[in-house]
Amino acid sequence: MKEKIRQRALELGFDDCRFTTAAAPTSAERFQNWVAGKQHGEMAWIERNASKRIDPQKVLPGARSIIMLAANYGTRVERRESRARDFTQRDDAHPSTLDPRPSTALIARYARFDDYHELLGGRLKQLTQFVNQLGGAEMHSLWYVDTGPLLERDFAQRAGIGFIGKHTNVISRRFGNWILLAEIVTTLELEPDMPEKNHCGNCTRCIDACPTAAITAPFQLDARLCISYLTIELKGPIPVELRPAIGHRIFGCDDCLAACPWNRFAREGQMMKKHARPDLAAPDLVELLQLDEAGFKSRFAGTPILRMKRRGLLRNVCVALGNTGDISALPALSQAAKDSEPLIAEHARWAIERISSPGKPL
- Which backbone phi and psi does 257 adopt, to 5 degrees? -70, -45
Is 146 tagged catalytic?
yes
Q: Which of 55, 114, 146, 208 is catalytic?
A: 146
Q: How far apart are CA 225 and CA 240, in angstroms?
A: 12
Identify the pLDDT of residue 85.
Answer: 47
With a CB cutoff of 8 Å and minimum separation 6, the contacts of 108 are 228, 249, 251, 252, 253, 254
The candidate with the shortest Cα–Cα distance to 163, out of 217, 219, 90, is 219
Query: pLDDT digits over 78-97, tens only?
Result: 555 544 444 333 333 343 44
Fill in the amino acid letter for 349.
R
Identify the pLDDT of residue 66.
Answer: 98
**DSSP E strand boundaries for 110-178:** 141-144, 163-164, 170-171
Q: Is the pLDDT at 104 greater than 80, yes or no?
A: yes
In the beta sheet, which residues pair with residue 21? Answer: 65
Query: pLDDT digits over 267-306, tens only?
Result: 888 889 889 999 999 999 999 999 999 999 999 999 999 9
Query: pLDDT digits over 318-348, tens only?
Result: 999 999 999 999 999 999 999 999 999 999 9
Identify the pLDDT of residue 94.
Answer: 40
The candidate with the shortest Cα–Cα distance to 147, out of 124, 178, 177, is 124
Q: How far apart are CA 227 and CA 245, in angstroms?
A: 8
The candidate with the shortest Cα–Cα distance to 344, out of 297, 288, 282, is 288
Q: How far apart are CA 127 and CA 92, in angstroms?
A: 42
Identify the pLDDT of residue 362.
Answer: 59
Please check whether residue 51 is in contact with residue 192, taking contact to mean a CB–CB distance below 8 angstroms: no
SS3 191: coil
Q: Which helix (H) or strand (E) holds 45?
A: helix 44-48
Mean pLDDT for all residues in the chain: 91
Residue 197 exposure: Cα atoms within 13 Å on the Cβ side: 2
16-21 and 220-221 as β-strands: parallel, antiparallel, unpaired? unpaired
Give me the DSSP letters along 264-328: GGPPPPSSGGGGB-GGGSS-BHHHHHT--HHHHHHHHTTSGGGGGHHHHHHHHHHHHHHHHT-GG
Identify the pLDDT of residue 101.
Answer: 53
Q: What's the mean pLDDT in 158-173?
A: 97
With a CB cutoff of 8 Å and minimum separation 6, the contacts of 216 are 222, 225
Comparing 8-12, 106-110, 355-359, which segment has the lowest mean pLDDT?
355-359
Q: Which helix (H) or strand (E) holds 216?
A: strand 215-217
The distance in angstroms from the start CA to the end CA of the chain is: 61
Q: How far apart are CA 200 and CA 72, in angstroms?
A: 20
Our measurement of the distance from residue 344's CA atom to the centroid of its chain's CA atoms, rounded to an integer in Å, reads: 24
Query: pLDDT digits over 194-211, tens only?
Result: 999 999 999 999 999 999
Q: How far apart are CA 114 and CA 294, in angstroms?
A: 19
Give me the DSSP letters along 47-89: HHTHHHHT-GGGTSTT--EEEEEEEE---HHHHHHHHHHHHHT
With a CB cutoff of 8 Å and minimum separation 6, the contacts of 88 are none
Q: How far apart are CA 200 and CA 153, in angstroms?
A: 16
